[in-house]
Amino acid sequence: MQNIIFCSYNQDLLPYKATEWAIWRDLKLAEDIIVPQGEVVLAPTWIKSALPLWWWIKVYARSSLPIKFWLIVANSVGIIDADYRWEIKVELTSLNGEKKLEAWTRIAQLEICPYFQEWKSFPTQTPKVEMIVDPDIYENFAEKFRSDRGSGGFGSTAH
């Protein structure tokens, strides 16, 4: 695989840069959710990704999330490995009471990063980002973009 691929049911949910010079891509909430204080909620995004080897994604809270909603990303920074093929979900927790968020709210930002191991070769070319809107591909994403990771999905690599 040569490209970074994002796939969704809906064009409006694909990660996007808010301005030409934005470094990171905004990620929206796909459904209305309630975040009770003191609990962690997996916020759905309806986004799946496939990355070339030696690339990975960091998921950060948008800077306005705690200011507007009193919410934070529970694990500080989410990590999406190159071989993860399931929905990207954002772990949210409330700092102050129960919070209701509506679908399409921008909740996180994605940073696409190269990965370096000194004993392996480092990527020399920046891959292109490809956006796919196709319900069939989304439903069969793990089969279409196979990886060695297995079928455990979110949080499944706790060996």
Residue 150 located in a structural domain: no
| pLDDT at residue 159, rounded to an integer | 47
The model's pLDDT over 46-104, given as tens digits with 9 standing for 90+, comes to: 999 999 888 999 999 999 999 999 999 998 899 999 999 999 999 999 999 999 999 99
Burial class (CB in 10 A: 0-12, 13-18, 19+), 109: buried
Q: Give the Cα separation of 142 and 138 in Å (integer).
A: 9
Residue 61 located in a structural domain: yes
Tally of domains within the chain: 1
3-state secondary structure string across 7-64: EECCHHHCCECCCCCCCCEEEECCCCEEECECCEEEEECCCEEECCCCEEEEEEECCC
Pairing of β 71-73 and β 89-94: antiparallel
**Does the model's pTM come out above 0.85?**
yes
CATH number, domain containing residue 126: 2.70.40.10
Residue 154 located in a structural domain: no
| pLDDT at residue 24, rounded to an integer | 92
Residue 138 located in a structural domain: yes
Q: Give the Cα separation of 55 and 87 in Å (integer).
A: 17
- What mean pLDDT comes out for the span 40-45? 96
Domain of residue 25, residue span: 4-144
